């Protein structure tokens, strides 16, 4: 593809065996099949202190923040699978966004977010699949200049949703994720 979009894929979970990590990896494969270039990262590789403006003033942005921001800037789109904690966004994902939203010296505010495209997914052992948290993630991302595509997918009963190789067992659920991956790739290509 001549205008191949670069998509950064990650999950807002710190669990090593996270269902949301399985889901975003499955979706990332679908983006590749749709013609996108995908890089999966684990937020565990970017450990950050709880956001504190006094810490930022005293010490500057942590090195891991700057590394993650570089990744955000290098990609035109984001594929994010978002666990739901008490009906909302996870502290890990919110803290990561908060730190990444801080400008470096001579950087325009929110430059690693504005004009980017995102697709949201979630899965949960519960019957709603994490759908309530997606509302908050969408509002946060749109508030900092990210175009979040309307299509999203929340997959319930996560413990039974995946086979041993990480593929979704239910064809209808899998097709929903495939459609989102295709849409993310298409919109990101058009806007790049």
- The pTM score is 0.96
Averaged pLDDT, 42-51: 97
Q: Identify which of 49, 60, 31 has the alpha carbon closest to the alpha carbon of residue 181.
A: 31
Quote the number of domains for the chain. Answer: 1
Q: How confident is the model at residue 2 (pLDDT cuts 50, 70, 90)?
A: low
Retrieve residue 39's tokens: 């890089």
Q: Identify which of 40, 32, 36, 114 has the alpha carbon closest to the alpha carbon of residue 80.
A: 40
3-state secondary structure of 111: coil
- Angle (nearest 5°) at CA 67 between 118 and 74: 45
pLDDT of 188 over the 50 cut: yes
80 in any annotated domain: yes
CA atoms within 13 A on the CB side of 86: 2
Averaged pLDDT, 67-77: 98
Q: What pLDDT does residue 1 have?
A: 44
150 in any annotated domain: yes
Beta bridge partners of 120: 80, 152
Range of the domain at 96: 6-191
Q: What pLDDT does residue 65 have?
A: 97
pLDDT of 103 over the 80 cut: yes
1 in any annotated domain: no
8-33 pLDDT, tens digit each = 999 999 999 999 999 999 999 999 99
161 in any annotated domain: yes
CATH number, domain with residue 65:
3.40.50.360
Averaged pLDDT, 61-86: 97
């Amino acid at each position: 593809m001549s205008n191949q979009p670069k998509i950064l894929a990650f999950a807002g979970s710190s669990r090593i065996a996270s269902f949301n990590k399985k889901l975003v990896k499955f979706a990332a494969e679908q983006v590749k099949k749709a013609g996108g270039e995908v890089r999966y990262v684990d937020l565990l590789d970017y450990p950050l202190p709880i956001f504190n403006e006094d810490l930022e003033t005293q010490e500057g942005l942590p090195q891991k923040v700057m590394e993650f921001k570089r990744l955000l800037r290098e990609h035109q789109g984001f594929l994010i699978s978002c666990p739901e904690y008490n009906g909302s966004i996870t502290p890990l994902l919110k803290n990561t966004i908060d730190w990444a939203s801080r400008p470096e010296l001579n950087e325009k505010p929110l430059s690693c977010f504005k004009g980017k495209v995102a697709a949201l997914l979630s899965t949960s052992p519960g019957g709603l699949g994490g759908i309530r948290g997606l509302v908050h993630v969408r509002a946060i991302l749109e508030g900092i200049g990210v175009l979040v595509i309307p299509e999203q997918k929340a997959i319930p009963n996560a413990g039974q949703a995946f086979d041993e190789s990480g593929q979704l067992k239910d064809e209808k659920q899998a097709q929903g994720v495939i459609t989102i991956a295709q849409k993310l790739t298409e919109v990101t290509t058009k806007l790049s």
